[in-house]
Structure 1
Amino acid sequence: MTAPSSRCPVADQDEAEPDWAALDLVGRSPCFRDALACLQQWSRVDATVLICGETGTGKELAARALHYLGARSGGPFVPVNCGAIADSLLEAELFGHVKGAFTDAKQDARGMISLASGGTLFLDEVDALSPRAQAALLRFVQDHSYRPVGGARFQHGDVRLVAASNADLDALSGRGAFRHDLLYRLNLLTVALPPLRQREGDALLLAQVFVQRLCRTYGVQRQLDAPSREALQRPHPWHGNVRELEHLVHRCFLRARGNAIDLGLAPGRAANAPFHTPAEPTTALGFAQAKAQVIAEFERRYLYELLQRAQGNLSLAARLAGKERSRFGKLVKKYGLQRDADPPRT
């Protein structure tokens, strides 16, 4: 999704470049550097920004960079996962409520907008908002005015608004699934984060940074083996982008038995997937036993990947799976998966 107003001007050569590594934005590829230039440019203005990019490309990191590089850096940064808030709670979560507004409203409560006063309100996954939620948000995005649920007076939200989506909002708007008027207001300025597969050379750089952090965290010295370093310089789909790479490095770092870390990406070498291939081939088992084994492996992998997508949020993962939360939680517990979507211990 692009717009004429979203294109970054040529960067000022005399301006000092931010410490992107301190903001956890690491990369040297031209397309990623273009995105960083946008972030630096838009951080100077107190205007609404829409961050676009696939899952795992670092949209919240980009939003935080806009905040901490801007004039509101001394204020709070308040992230809101729009996909994790039920319609019935959205207005109360964002706008707050007054005592007696509904059954459980025992006292006045501030909403996320009030909590973000003087800082930045980050609305992640805005594509997940229902039509009702989009309508509730529209007025605030337009003039930053809102009324707490049950309240009589409008208030003004002194916040910078940053939104993010991993979906094509233009396409959703064309199908009537996302309001045109809301999209126009969110899409004042845009930053497009490129997928990792398009960031030539950045996978190796990122992996080495992740290894350095893990060495400090766990107090051991390890490094990527030569085949892994070579493999990271070749094209790879990276469906989960930077998040997928980070999880892979973390997993393989913990599984390493020596100082060398094998990511399992080299041709002819078994990938270090979250789950091991069964030691006994299914053809050596009876039909019923083999079928049960394949189903169990599918369930483990499906749950693991779903929890990664939901960033460990069990309620959101259950909704994505179309299952009741308690039943979904029992499945997660059955396979030893944690809410932070870590792979099971082996």
Structure 2
Amino acid sequence: MLTATGRQGHAQHSAAPAREPESEPDWAALNLIGASASFRRVLASLCQWSRVDATVLIGGETGTGKELAARAIHYLGARQDGPFVPVNCGAITDSLLEAELFGHVRGAFTDAKQDARGMIALAQGGTLFLDEVDSLSPRAQAAILRFVQDHSYRPVGGARFQCGDVRVIAASNADLEALAAEGRFRRDLLYRLNLLTVTLPPLREREGDAVLLARVFTERLCRQYGVPRTLDDASLAALRAGQPWPGNVRELEHRVHRAFLTAQGQSITLGLPLPAGFAPLPRAGTTAPSPIAFARAKAQVIAEFERRYVLDLLAEAKGNLSLAARLAGKERSRFGKLVRKYGLQRDADARPPRD
């Protein structure tokens, strides 16, 4: 049985006040970089959850930085001097799960030549991070639930329960609520894990952060390899235009790393799809373009602006050419020439019939 001393020890640690941060955390040191509003809200939640010793469930797509978020909660909190022990739940088989988590005593099974501590014992006084909890089998979920309920566990083959003085943080890239509705994830375990929650936004929804991250990754690689290199204008324009990034920050980091290593000079090209009408400007120290090339680039920029301007006015006027011309402050005939110039007649002809 769990001794009273064990329970009291756990309660006392849980009640210990977390250290209040004196200033804004150094997020860059924690590898959490971003300036978008959606990401800043996540950072605020991480800072808040670090001040209380409670279970946290972190959600988010693959590559969004869930383990980094878990580490931030740990290192900003009262348990920062204790160990941070990550457990990849998807990599542990049912036959080894309890031994890996709870440890075992000598002779508990074949090849158990001596006592062995489990992940919970290794995380004593710190944080146990359960990654990919959605991959746990029903048997594994039952074993985890028993521990999360009261932090008590019994090593495999042992006769006495022990108390795990750890904070539990779990993470999943799956919708656990949907899995629970389908009967594939225990709802009682979900209720235990999602006491506090935070969901990391995908990179495609973090406006401006792709450029910021790509530059940070490039600077780190320059220091690592001792080679000065920068992202080219085309890559920066493509990053600003937005990309789907199914692999999120991890995908961006790998792309920058690969482009850095394969670059022939000081310029890094990511090879991303370019926005319409993009015309790269010459870098300082390069050969100046001819007047013809400059005029062509200028004409492309003006043409793209005109096309977009006319298209937006037609959309606002619901295809009514006369109304769009008035909004532009132009005669209908002159505005009509712009519409035909860019092949937007269909947008003008799509206007609703007049009453």
TM-score class normalised by the smaller sequence: 0.7 to 0.9
Is 1:54 the equivalent of 2:52? Answer: no
Is 1:159 the equivalent of 2:166? Answer: yes
Deviations 1:5-36 (A, max 9, x none): xxxxxxxxx96210000000000011100100
Once residues 222 and 258 of structure 2 are traced to their aligned partners in structure 1, the CA distance between those partners, rounded to angstroms, is 13
**2:143 is aligned with what amino acid?**
A
Given candidates 222, 232, 236, the residue that maps to 1:229 is 236
Once residues 112 and 143 of structure 2 are traced to their aligned partners in structure 1, the CA distance between those partners, rounded to angstroms, is 20
Is 1:122 the equivalent of 2:140? Answer: no
| Structure 2: 5+ residue stretches without partners | 1-20, 277-355
Indicate conservation of the 8 Å contact 2:237/2:275, yes or no: no
Is 1:256 the equivalent of 2:263? Answer: yes
Higher-Rg structure is 2
Is 1:102 the equivalent of 2:105? Answer: no
Question: Percent of aligned positions with the same letter in both sequences?
Answer: 77
Given candidates 187, 205, 229, the residue that maps to 1:198 is 205
Deviations 1:269-316 (A, max 9, x none): 9xxxxxxxxxxxxxxxxxxxxxxxxxxxxxxxxxxxxxxxxxxxxxxx
Paired residue for 2:44? 37
Once residues 62 and 120 of structure 2 are traced to their aligned partners in structure 1, the CA distance between those partners, rounded to angstroms, is 25
Indicate conservation of the 8 Å contact 1:227/1:266, yes or no: no
Paired residue for 2:97? 90
Is 1:131 the equivalent of 2:138? Answer: yes
Indicate conservation of the 8 Å contact 1:82/1:123, yes or no: yes
Once residues 56 and 124 of structure 1 are traced to their aligned partners in structure 2, the CA distance between those partners, rounded to angstroms, is 13
Moved over 2 A (4+): 266-269
- Per-residue deviation at 1:104? 1.3
**1:210 is aligned with what amino acid?**
F
Paired residue for 2:187? 180
Is 1:208 the equivalent of 2:215? Answer: yes
| Structure 1: 5+ residue stretches without partners | 1-13, 270-346
Is 1:246 the equivalent of 2:253? Answer: yes
Paired residue for 1:9? none
Indicate conservation of the 8 Å contact 1:96/1:111, yes or no: yes
Deviations 1:208-259 (A, max 9, x none): 0000110011011000001101110112110000000000000000000000
Paired residue for 1:69? 76
Aligned residue pair count: 256
C-alpha RMSD of matched pairs (Å): 1.3
Please report the TM-score for the alignment, with normalisation by the length of structure 1.
Answer: 0.73
Please report the TM-score for the alignment, with normalisation by the length of structure 2.
Answer: 0.71
Given candidates 219, 224, 229, the residue that maps to 2:226 is 219
Indicate conservation of the 8 Å contact 2:241/2:275, yes or no: no
Indicate conservation of the 8 Å contact 1:249/1:263, yes or no: yes
Indicate conservation of the 8 Å contact 1:123/1:163, yes or no: yes
Deviations 1:54-100 (A, max 9, x none): 00000000000001000111011000000000110000000000001
What SS does the aligned partner of 2:85 have?
strand
Once residues 98 and 91 of structure 1 are traced to their aligned partners in structure 2, the CA distance between those partners, rounded to angstroms, is 12
**1:179 is aligned with what amino acid?**
R
Paired residue for 2:87? 80
